[in-house]
A and B are shown apart, each in its own frame.
Chain A
Amino acid sequence: MSVSNGKDLRTLDLRYDCNLLQIWAKRAGNGGEFTVIELEDVAYSYGGAELFAQLNLSLAPGSFHFLTGPSGAGKTTLLKLCYGELLATSGQVRLFGEDAASLPRDGVAMVRRRIGVVHQDCQFLDHLPVSENIALPLKVAGREDETGNNLDDLMMWVGLKAQANQTPPQLSGGERQRAALARAVIMSPEVIIADEPTGNVDWEMSQRLLTLLVELNKMGKTVLIATHDLNLIRTAKNQVSARVLRLKDRRLQLAGAEL
């Protein structure tokens, strides 16, 4: 565990120690006039049988959702529909009120800037140092000037300060996931979608990452996390009112109190 400021994780108070969060907090708080992501009667197939059909989902602004389900149920696929990497084979996906299928190409890019994504297999530019990878969304959006302090704060928060100049292939699986989360949130996006963000990190770090997501949610950001880490879900439920969706047998159900 690399905590460069030497403080005990559990006593670390986000509000004082992460400047960035304070800055973002001031910016957040746009009211919830519409659902940020909405799926209506959606079906998807990779060419063979449908992974799911007649699926409905709507994420209100500021909501916190977990998506669980057995491996291979289609969690990753569902998330990809939610940020426009895949298009539904039938039904409609609306991102920020707009039909994903009829978005122009640059419209998709604009949507991606409003949704921070932690991809299941992270996806970095392997020839660039971690710090540049994390700052990439700002650079691509022409907002490089915002990089400076934001990047330092964030690298510190995910405990990657020491690894800033290493390239992604030199990192461990857990470090890569932390870097992916940092990259997903650096733009202060309205929505954060994370696919198994704690799959490779130890318990303590997964708590830390969860805290970051919870804090972001408290600022009004919409969060959707696919995970099968039930402990993570239980911890989260103590901190935030999270709903748990379960994808199983081609259907999406609201998981009950068994968690």
Chain B
Amino acid sequence: MRVDPRQLLDLVVGDPQAERAVPPTGFTARLTLFTAAAMAFLAVFALALSMATGRLADRWSEELARTSTLRISAPADQAAAQLRAAITLLETTPGIAAARALTPDEQRSLLEPWFGPDLPLESLPIPQLVEIIEEGGGYDATGLRARLQAEVPGAVLDDHTRWREPLISAAGRLRSLGWFAILLIGAATAAMITLAAQSALAANAQVIRVMRLVGAEDGYIARAFVRRFTGRAFLGALGGTVIGMLAVALLPRADDIGGFLTDVGFRGAGWLWPLLVPPLAAVVAFFATRAAALRTLKEQS
């Protein structure tokens, strides 16, 4: 379909009287408004989901790739010695920037989601965790494991790859699903607006006949319908977007726990993305209605 840029301009500044030729029909008007609002609401959520999973994947791949954990399970009397030995060993390993033993408080907060607060850590045989921060191209995990086995028998090295990779790929999958959902929402909007426009065109056969009789071109008649539907889709989508953004903003936050579900939402400039939904809905409605109108007018000749 060829689109004259003048017609797009016309749509914005053009003859606002043209659409008076089409009587306002309550049913298709409400249908379009509702569809656009509902779809925009869903689109805002799909967008929030995509952005959250995107952030999650980024964080996992970035943070986790740069860190590893050493777990030392040793009898109480050897714990301090093994920890010292491990730290010394780690600090002299090329590719490791720093190694730090987690404090009892940090260890407790890691366990808190599972065991609740006030866990008597001291009386439990909890392994000591050491956070390893990498530098440059990282360290040679196989070599480090061999040396640890010799010098710190109670140590187990976890370089996170085992559980990082499936998480990242899951996050990536979730993110593409989010975008796919947005595409589907767009297509469904186009389909529903096409149906609404077709029903409006059918209901207004008499209007079309009169317009033809007095010498209106297809483009003029189509524009009357296109303006209506584009305007309604924009307004409906604006409403749906605002409600969707409010709902996202009001989602319960629990950043300290940092769970994924509580992270669904927009950050900073990310809040600008959902604002694209209403204009996009208008563009979808414009093309859907125009195609439907020109097709119907051609068939009715």
Which residues of A pack against B, CB within 8 Å?
A: 85, 105-106, 108-113, 117, 119, 123-128, 132, 136-137, 139-141, 144, 183, 187
Q: Which residues of chain B come closer than 8 Å to A136, judged between CB atoms?
A: 21, 210-211, 214
211-228 of chain B: CB within 8 A of chain A: 211-220
Q: Once the chains bind, are B214 and A105 in contact (CB under 8 Å)?
A: no
The answer to whether A125 and B21 touch (CB under 8 A), given A105-B218, A105-B298, is yes
Kindly provide the distance from the CB of A207 to the nearest chain B CB, expressed in whole angstroms.
26
Alpha-carbon separation in the docked complex, A126 to B215 (Å)? 18
Query: Which of B20, B213, B217, B219 makes the CB contact (< 8 A) with A119?
Result: B213
Q: Which residues of chain B come closer than 8 Å to A105, judged between CB atoms?
A: 217-218, 298, 301
Q: Which residue from chain A places its CB closest to the CB of B207 in the assembled complex?
A: A125
Alpha-carbon separation in the docked complex, A140 to B214 (Å)? 8
Q: Which residue from chain B places its CB closest to the CB of A137 in the assembled complex?
A: B214
Q: Once the chains bind, are B207 and A112 in contact (CB under 8 Å)?
A: no
Query: Which of B20, B206, B207, B218 makes the CB contact (< 8 A) with A106?
Result: B218
Query: Which of A109, A119, A126, A183 makes the CB contact (< 8 A) with B216?
Result: A109
Q: Which residues of chain A come closer than 8 Å to B218, judged between CB atoms?
A: 105-106, 109
Could you name 17 residue pairs across A and B whose Cβ atoms are closer than 8 Å? A105-B218, A105-B298, A106-B218, A106-B219, A109-B212, A112-B212, A112-B213, A119-B213, A123-B209, A124-B210, A125-B211, A126-B206, A136-B211, A137-B214, A137-B215, A140-B216, A183-B214
Q: Which residue from chain A places its CB closest to the CB of B214 in the assembled complex?
A: A137
- Interface mask (B2-29 → A, CB under 8 Å = 1, otherwise 0): 0000000000000001001101000000
* Chain B: interface residue total (CB-CB under 8 A): 20
Q: Which residue from chain B places its CB closest to the CB of A138 in the assembled complex?
A: B214
Q: Which residues of chain A come closer than 8 Å to B20, judged between CB atoms?
A: 128, 132
The answer to whether A127 and B215 touch (CB under 8 A), given A105-B298, A139-B17, is no
Q: Which residues of chain B come closer than 8 Å to A106, judged between CB atoms?
A: 217-219
Kindly provide the distance from the CB of A197 to the nearest chain B CB, expressed in whole angstroms.
15
> Chain B: interface secondary structure?
helix
Q: Which residues of chain B come closer than 8 Å to A125, judged between CB atoms?
A: 21, 23, 207, 210-211
> Chain A: interface secondary structure?
helix
Q: Once the chains bind, are B210 and A141 in contact (CB under 8 Å)?
A: no
Q: Once the chains bind, are A109 and B17 in contact (CB under 8 Å)?
A: no
Query: Which of A109, A124, A127, A187 makes the CB contact (< 8 A) with B217?
Result: A109
Q: Once the chains bind, are B301 and A110 in contact (CB under 8 Å)?
A: no
Q: Which residues of chain B come closer than 8 Å to A137, judged between CB atoms?
A: 214-215
Q: Which residue from chain A places its CB closest to the CB of B216 in the assembled complex?
A: A140
Q: A125-B207, A136-B214, A137-B215 are in contact. List 9 more A-B contacts (CB 8 A).
A: A105-B217, A106-B219, A108-B212, A109-B215, A112-B212, A136-B211, A139-B17, A140-B216, A141-B215
Alpha-carbon separation in the docked complex, A126 to B214 (Å)? 15
Q: Which of B23, B210, B218, B219 counts the most chain A CB atoms within 10 A?
A: B210
Q: Which residue from chain A places its CB closest to the CB of B23 in the assembled complex?
A: A127
Kindly provide the distance from the CB of B159 to the nearest chain A CB, expressed in whole angstroms.
70
Q: Which residues of chain A come closer than 8 Å to B209, judged between CB atoms?
A: 123
Q: Which residue from chain B places its CB closest to the CB of A128 in the assembled complex?
A: B20
Q: Which residue from chain A places its CB closest to the CB of B218 in the assembled complex?
A: A105
Q: Which residues of chain A come closer than 8 Å to B17, judged between CB atoms?
A: 139, 144
Query: Which of A117, A123, A140 makes the CB contact (< 8 A) with B220?
Result: A140
